[in-house]
Structures are given as structure tokens and as C-alpha cells.
Amino acid sequence: MRRTGVAETSIGVFILVFLAVIAGVIYFAQSRFDPRFYNITLQDEGNVQGRRNFLPLPDTSPVPAYLPENLVPLGPEETFDSQTLSDKIDGKAELYLSSGFVKLSARRFARKTDPKSWLELFIYEMGDSTNAFSVYSLQKRKDSTPVDFGVSAYVTEDALFFTSGPKYFEIISASKDLAEDMTALAKNLVEADPQYAGQQPLSSLFPPESLDGSSISLHMGDVFGFSGLDRVYTARYGAENNQVTAFISKRNDSVEAADLAVAYGRFIVENGGVETGELPDAPDSKVYKVFDTYEVVMHKGKFFAGAHEADDIEKAKDVASKIYRNLGEAGEK
């Protein structure tokens, strides 16, 4: 029988030691496992933010005063400015940046009794209430239900969205059983700034009859393809197969509103429109036919308003007349 040489023995010992070192490294790594390194990002259709599926870790940072008693922080607050916003909401940042975005603060919270039931709060500081309502309205989801917090707000089955003064809020939950927790958190946030509760945006000037409330939006620039038109609220009226888009914009003074009506009317004519008359009860109005659709353009006091791309001329006139009457005293403020 051949004896094992010294070299072969040394190689065998080296291999055994090497394997032992590898086993030790693996054991050490597993003992220090941190689930945050293995987050899985989920995207909901129509949801601005990604979601992370993770296990909570202890958090020793101060508890916010607005936090309900049954919730606890999962980690410190994250903040993002205009340079880093896309790190948090990749693909959606431009909407905020073009609407006066200042800062985003985000933080996750969970139930004390069930750490796996968690939600994430996003607070967008938008500079003023107009900017905040704009991003709120333009991102409104189709499956939404309005809620009454004294501010503009709506819910979906797993999220809650609202504005309060210059801030726009989103509360995104990890499960569908956190509705009460989201509502409690939202109410606390609204009550923390009571001066904004009860303030109504200009959208309240749309007459309620046949109004699709979920359609109200605020557009900040290049509205209807006209570069001189900004800060315009739009809303739809009527059944889905016969809708009219109405619009209202408050300008700095009555002169600006009148000049804007003239400029927009000229824009319509330059793009194939033909003036066909005015509303009987609105002397500061004009009706245009643009191919197979109709436009109503009018001004009253500080307001520029009308109806856009309506298929039915009578429906367009009816909606525009109601808006003109509804402006009433508001046009003089």
C-alpha cells in the first residue's frame, strides 16, 4: 500500500480548514441577517409610490404628535428635495416639480399589536394650497370615494389622499384592514393645522347639478394647448356618452380675465374655430364652433370660464350659463 505523502496531507488539511472558514462566514452572516436589505418593491396601478414589504425594526426616534396611540414608527423620517425626489417616486417626480414642489417627508408606521400591519405616510410640501390641490386632483384615482375631513380628501381600498393648506398627503397601507388607522392618522394631521380646515378651493364654484365631482382637476400650465392659459380648474358634466368639460380660472383682476378671454378666442379662431354668437344671459361671452365641437368662452369679474370641446351646443350653453350665474358675487371678490 502506498503511503500518503507530506504534500498530499498538507493539501488535504488546507482544504478542510478552508471549508471550515467558509462555514463560519455563512453562520456569521445568517446571525446578522437584516431583512431591510431584501425589500421587494411592489407597484400598484395608478399609485404614485412603490411599496416595500419588510419586517419592522426597533425605532428610538421621537414619536410624532399626530400619531394615533395604536401606531408606532418603524423607522426614522426620510426627506427628499427637488434633486432627490425621483429616488423615492421614480417616474412621477416631474408632476410635482412642475407644480411648485418644495420637500417630501416620508415615514412608515405599524400597529403596536401587529407589526406586519403597516402603512407609509407621504407629506408633500407644495408651497401653497393651489399647488397642493393641483397634484391632488391630477392624481385622483378612478376607484376613489370622497370623505369629509373639512379638506379635499378621498379614499381607495388601501390608501387615503388629501390636502391641507400648502401640503398634499398620501397614506398608503400594506393591507386592506388599515382603513380606521389611516382615517385616524389623517384626522390628526388635519387637526394639527386647523386654520386650513373648511377652506374650499375654487372647484366649489362649479354648479353641483349633473357634476361629476371626481373629475375636478386643476391644471397649472399650457391648458387646452394654449401657452397663455394656466391655473385652470376643469370638471365634467353629464352622462359619460354626452359630457361637457367646463372650466374656471381666477385671474389677478377683471382686466386680465377679459384680456385672457380675447386671447383664447383668437387662439381658437387661428386653429380652425368660427365664432357663432354668445350666450343670451352672458354678455361677456362668445360661442365658437371648432370643426364638430363647440367652445364657450366668457369672463365675469376676475373669472375666466366656459365650456370646452362639447359635442352638443345646447348642453355646452346650458352648463356655461349655470357657471356664469354661479360666479355671481364671487366674480367681484
Least confident of 94-103, 142-151, 253-262: 142-151
Q: Supply the DSSP string of 64-126, one letter for each residue.
A: PTTS-TTEEESSPPEEE-TTTHHHHSTTTHHHHHTTT--EEEEEEEEESS-TTSEEEEEEEE-
- pLDDT, tens digit, for every residue of 254-284? 999 999 999 999 999 999 999 999 999 898 8
| Strands annotated E in 210-258 | 211-219, 232-237, 244-250
Beta bridge partners of 72: 110
pLDDT, greater one: 123 or 98: 123
Percent of the chain with pLDDT over 70: 79
CA separation for the pair 208, 155 (Å, rounded): 21
**Which secondary structure element, helix H or strand E, spans residue 172, and what is its range?**
strand 167-173
The predicted model scores a pTM of 0.72
Reduced to 3 states (helix: H, G, I; strand: E, B; else coil), residue 231 is coil
- pLDDT, average across residues 192-208: 77
What is the dihedral angle through the alpha carbons of 34, 35, 36, 39, rounded to the nearest 10 degrees? 150
Structural domains in the chain, CATH included, are 38-196 (3.40.1000), 202-332 (3.40.1000)
CA separation for the pair 128, 57 (Å, rounded): 36
- The confidence score (pLDDT) of residue 148 equals 84
